[in-house]
A and B are shown apart, each in its own frame.
Chain A
Amino acid sequence: MDKRIFIAFLLAVPPTFAAADSQWILKQSTLTYHVSHPLHQSEGVSHAAKGKGVCHAGQCDFLIAVPVKSFDSGDSNRDLHMLQVTRGAEFPLVTVRTRLPESAETSAMVNADLEIQFAGQTAKYKQVPFKLETQNGETHITGTIPATLTDFKMEPPTLLTMPVKNEIPVRVDMTWLPQP
């Protein structure tokens, strides 16, 4: 009798553990910041983000890191100015941490609390909406992080003595792959 219970337990438990320890890896990403100036509208794009999610007990912890230097606006002079303003040589990475329930995978929308480390500062963004789309086993996530320069204590860069706007929204477009 005891043996039977034990075998039944062994058969029932492994799937539960397997589900608890699943992981996600970032397959590809496009992060785009937008800067507004009275004379210019410019965007910088990076495809160099690396990310990983670890799920345990129904919660998934995600970490995404992207080198500041990897953002390309098509103008090397602007990129160097952005690198200086964002203290990118001193703090070379932007990291984003978030925790989401494992069940969010099946939702069409998810609101994430983000903790972003950038330019030696940490800013928290509450309930940032992201759109989720799962296709062929891959999860596609899109959304915009409402970042501002003051969130990270940055001095607005100027062109012809006119400063850029404080808002630097970052568009996020990522494809995540689940790992067993």
Chain B
Amino acid sequence: MPTNALRHGRSRLHGLVVVGLLVTLAPFLMGQTVGSGILTGKVTNASGDAVANTTVTATNVDTGQARTVTTGTEGTYRFDMLPSGSYRVKFEAAGFNTMEIPPTTVSGTVAAVLDETLEATAGGKVTAPQENLPNAPSSNTAAPSLSDLGLTPEQTQGNAREQALLDKRTHMLRIHQRMGLITTIPLIATLATSLNAGGKNTSTSSRYLHAALGGVTGDLYFITAYYAIRAPRIAGTETRGPIRFHKAMAWIHGPGMILTPILGIMAFDQKSNGEKVHGIASAHAPVAIVTAGAFGAALLSVSFKF
């Protein structure tokens, strides 16, 4: 059981430790609060929608030092470790009037929040005056801004939805590409085993192996096709270049991949009954070869430059 004197001694010791810590850390804490701060905010248009790609410039009134950041898709911006002081903040976005606000104070105590609403130029387009026309000189002697270049809002405003669509498209086509490569392995194996499956001296096991490999190829092929067919289309994109040939080949290997197993089953049954493969089933091998050829050509067309 501690005595009162001992308790007092301990509390005094705790007090001394706390005071000591405060004295030791004070310069650092002061440095944090006085030295630098954060300036953050959101830029919106008159409708309250976020304005991405706005150039925000904070210029220290005393030193003239300037820092620039760009707003993201949410319209937000943030200056970290901004030396404490008074700042003029300029907002520039194509299709909007440049805004410069009166000096605001940044200190280390709390983050300064500065939201801004930008006004669109006349009609939302950069039309008048003359100096705002594309590449026309202006009487402004300040550094040129995006609005001086005559770019339309469509050209300058980010579109998060379209980016998400592009991300999804790339993700699906990457799987399509990998699955296509994987499919070539059982495809080649199926072609190789066809030599023992269709001749005069064939065994049941050779036919089963060939059929099983053909089945695996078909399954993988349709998974591959799924990722290409379901990949999002990007509006306003005209198909140009080797991808046209790649897509054209799909009109050959696609139906071929459906027809080949159907003809294969028929040929398999005829062969299992001891018959010679006849009728439409005899087209199994040629159709399979054309299909595999079109598949290979499609693969090579996007892999190498001819």
Contacts and interface: CB of A to CB of B under 8 A. Distances in A.
A63 B70 CA distance: 15
Interface in A71-127: 73-78, 80-81, 83-85, 87-93, 95, 97, 117, 120, 122
A75 B306 CA distance: 13
A135 interface: no
Contact of A93 (B137, B156, B238): B156
Contacts, number: 136
Interface string B156-179: 111110110111011001100110
Given A84-B166, A158-B174, A25 B70 contact: no
Contact of A52 (B73, B149, B242): B149
Interface stretch (B139-147, B190-198, B216-224, B257-265): B139-147
Nearest to A97: B143
Contact of B166 (A21, A67, A80, A159): A80
A54 B155 contact: no
B159 A40 contact: no
Interface residues of A, number: 49
B81 to A, nearest CB: 16
B7 interface: no
Contact of A92 (B53, B138, B167): B53
Contact of B303 (A21, A160, A179): A160
A92 to B, nearest CB: 6
Contacts of A179: 137
B240 interface: yes
A171 interface: no
A75 B181 contact: no
A11 to B, nearest CB: 23
Contacts of B166: 80, 83-84, 88-89
Interface of B: 52-53, 68, 70, 72-73, 134-146, 148-151, 155-160, 162-163, 165-167, 169-170, 173-174, 177-178, 181, 234, 237-243, 246, 302-305
Interface of A: 20-21, 23, 25-27, 39-42, 50-54, 56, 61-63, 65, 67, 73-78, 80-81, 83-85, 87-93, 95, 97, 117, 120, 122, 158-161, 179
